[in-house]
Structure 1
Amino acid sequence: MDIISQYREQFVTHLKARTQMTEPRNLYEPVHYILGLGGKRLRPILTLMTAEVFGGKAKDAMDAALAIEMFHNFSLVHDDIMDDAPLRRGKTTVHEKWDLNTGILSGDAMLILAYQFFEGYPPETFKKLTTLFSNTAIEVCEGQQYDVDFETRDDVTIPEYLKMIEYKTSVLVAAAMQMGAIIAHASEKDAEAMYEFGRNLGIAFQLQDDYLDAFGDPKTFGKQVGGDIMENKKTFLYLKSLEKSTKEDQESLMHLYSIKPKDAAAKVEAVKSIFKDSGAVEATQTEIEAYTQKAFEVLEQLTIPETNKELLRKFGENLMKRTV
């Protein structure tokens, strides 16, 4: 078994032990449901891996990893409500399986539970972890608001979009890695470098997610393929298409993003065709590679053994080859 699978298995065991079902069931059952849907467990794995990279123990980072995973899943429950999404990881979303009020309340409980998982750390470590966590949590909310705002704006720029995905997605990846470094008592410089590694990798990860949302395989992707297009989300693919398309295709794309037709599949295919013809697909893949390389450059600053740098590099490479 490879090391990533080992981290995942250890984390899932810890998650099950620390999240026992209790009353009222209608509050906690949805929490267990969303946590049990699986997923890549990317963020908690990064917390555990980073702790060991700096000479700490994975078991000491388990509760911080759990806080990150709980918060991430809380944000998914509320995102799915905002997007009116029917599927998450190929399964019915919480608000569809139960109802809207349950989705809101169970999500709120998950946010509070996330903070409780930090309570077992020594005071100084607790302060560092919760300060980082609070800063990250508010940035995730800011990123989500930018995302919502962009749906009704026709003047979104690529720098604005990159800031939005940094806040909505990559800061949580970055914080997950910095937490591992904090728990392992890494130097402040190394802990901040790990944050930068995670931030750049997180942006690459989200750009890859945008690409897979349009061009991924529905069997492996887990979410509804074309969901971003149906929701008129101004992704990197969309913004690059506007930048690089013919005037005719620009007008077609803007029209398609102003409507929500009954035949959603036809709209998705028409938009994807413009994405391809404009060269936006290649531009997106180039950007993914650029941010991945930025992350790898940060690794050179770290005062850790070369074998540990290689482990992080390999993880990043595998992440960019994913189809899910």
Structure 2
Amino acid sequence: MSETQFIDTYRDGFVAHLEAHTPMTEPQNLYAPIQYILGLGGKRLRPILTLMTTEIFGGKAEDAMDAALAVEMFHNFSLVHDDIMDDAPLRRGKVTVHEKWDLNTGILSGDAMLILSYQFFESYPAEMYKELTSLFSKTAIEVCEGQQYDVDFEMRDDVTIPEYLKMIEYKTSVLVAAAMKMGALVAKAPQKDADAIYEFGRNLGIAFQLQDDYLDAFGDPESFGKQAGGDIRENKKTFLYLKALEKANKQNKESLLHLYSIKPEDSTAKVEAVKSIFEESDAVGETKEAISAFTQKAFDELEKIDLPKESKALLKKFGESLMQRTV
């Protein structure tokens, strides 16, 4: 079985479980948006990681389905609320929940998704339930902290690269890390291995988000499913932007600061001008290097885990495939 078929098997099993456990009840205006956002597809990266990690540590994927569901439900809840905060028109190439319905529906449906996330853990025995929900609550609050840092950074001109990396760690990578650690907990893996797989996921998650930043500016909107240069339009201070400020010549630095102080109605020219500065200052090369460095850190964590070679190879291959993605 190829790696793609292997991943597809997890994805298909998970999607079937998701569809069987997505509420389809009244009131329609609360549950229809939940079905809609969950039905938009996406990579299902986090739940797949939960299932895969469970099996790698000798457990059964079906035992981890509810934990995987909690992670996916929470992830999608955060997307619904993020899209409201960003006033984003598109998600995965389709209209966002608050645009398709309205603002209040987006807020309330998101709230319901957060509550549903916690309910999915109730199928686990008491001790495991405690471990899973404790990790989940820590992760959920970090995601909120990461989102607030993201909002704060829009108003600041002195964001540092370490601060930015902390923000993406909280906003994105801790959920990837927790998804993997949950798989280890369901499989009753030793604590040191559960901790190491968390670190693997955390570093991979940072690399994944840096790749996301890069694709937001330089990816194909058709395959990436988001408006091209969305971060630039919103003046988001991404790794690319911070590196460009650090490396650009005086003229380009001044241009970049000016471009990030305006929000023109038609921002096509702004996006192109910013991308040119990103390329000229070698912020693009620096970003690609950082993606490789965090991917390597993740792989180094794998070496600490007592697992068969083929299991490590599978996780490594998965990490490599994430870094070569275009979506």
1:142 paired residue number: 145
Deviating 4+ runs (over 4 angstroms)? none
The reply to whether residue 51 of structure 1 matches residue 54 of structure 2 is: yes
Deviation at 1:263, TM superposition (A): 1.9
Q: Per the alignment, in what secondary structure is the counterpart of residue 122 of structure 2?
A: coil
**More deviation in 112-121 or 299-308?**
299-308
Deviation at 1:223, TM superposition (A): 1.1
2:118 paired residue number: 115
Residue identity in the other structure for 2:246: E
The reply to whether residue 208 of structure 1 matches residue 211 of structure 2 is: yes
Residue identity in the other structure for 2:172: T
The reply to whether residue 4 of structure 1 matches residue 29 of structure 2 is: no
Q: How do 1:151-230 residues align onto structure 2 when only pairs under 5 Å count?
A: 151-230=154-233
Q: Distance in 1 between matches of 2:266 and 2:304?
A: 51
Residue identity in the other structure for 2:149: Y
Residue identity in the other structure for 2:199: E
Q: How do 1:25-40 residues align onto structure 2 when only pairs under 5 Å count?
A: 25-40=28-43
Query: CA-to-partner distance for each residue in 1:118-149, whole Å, 9 max, x for gaps?
Result: 00000010000000000000000000000000
**Among 288, 297, 302, which residue is 1:299 paired with?**
302
Q: Distance in 2 between matches of 1:279 and 1:292?
A: 20
Q: Per the alignment, in what secondary structure is the counterpart of residue 176 of structure 1?
A: helix
The alignment-based identity, stated in percent, is 77
Q: Distance in 1 between matches of 2:156 and 2:268?
A: 23
Q: How do 1:309-324 residues align onto structure 2 when only pairs under 5 Å count?
A: 309-324=312-327
What TM-score do the two structures reach when normalised by structure 1? 0.99
2:258 paired residue number: 255
Q: Distance in 2 between matches of 1:227 and 1:274?
A: 16
Q: How do 1:260-279 residues align onto structure 2 when only pairs under 5 Å count?
A: 260-279=263-282
**More deviation in 68-77 or 13-22?**
13-22
Residue identity in the other structure for 2:12: E
Query: CA-to-partner distance for each residue in 1:199-228, whole Å, 9 max, x for gaps?
Result: 000000000000000000011001111000
Q: Distance in 2 between matches of 1:223 and 1:126?
A: 36
Q: Distance in 2 between matches of 1:117 and 1:124?
A: 15
Q: Distance in 2 between matches of 1:254 and 1:61?
A: 47
Q: Per the alignment, in what secondary structure is the counterpart of residue 119 of structure 1?
A: helix
Note the aligned Cα RMSD (angstroms). 0.5
What TM-score do the two structures reach when normalised by structure 2? 0.99
Q: Distance in 2 between matches of 1:94 and 1:184?
A: 35
Q: Distance in 2 between matches of 1:303 and 1:225?
A: 43
Gaps of at least 5 residues in structure 1 are: none
Deviation at 1:20, TM superposition (A): 3.4
Gaps of at least 5 residues in structure 2 are: none
Query: CA-to-partner distance for each residue in 1:9-52, whole Å, 9 max, x for gaps?
Result: 00000000111310000000000000000000000000000000
Q: Distance in 2 between matches of 1:248 and 1:145?
A: 32
